[in-house]
Amino acid sequence: MWRTLAVRYVFPLLSLLSALIVLEQLQIAPALLNILFTAMVDSAALAVGLAFGLGGQGTVRKWLNRAESTVSDIATQLQAHQSTNQTTTAAWKQAQAADQMRSARQPR
């Protein structure tokens, strides 16, 4: 399988790259060679990006679901903590108001 892949794709690409390098060293149409080399590199980058982008959709979906559940859990914990704080604050304010009322009733 790997041998077929190498014969079918890798060797022709290396031959083309070698031909471009030879033509560059001979100073034959250097601007055209730069454009061709840039196009080859850009095409390879695009192919790799698409392969990872399309092939990694399942993995990204799992990561996003995990992140969403984590954020949801943290939000639930924060809401519980806030309601506990509000209850504690309300009780503290009631106790403070009761203390103020007691101190206001006591003669000085």
Q: 90: which 2 tokens?
A: 């309300």
CA distance 68 to 62: 10
* Global confidence as pTM: 0.43
CA distance 102 to 105: 5
pLDDT in tens, 10-53: 888 889 889 988 988 999 888 888 898 899 899 989 998 898 88
pLDDT in tens, 52-102: 888 888 888 898 899 999 999 999 998 888 888 888 887 788 888 877 777
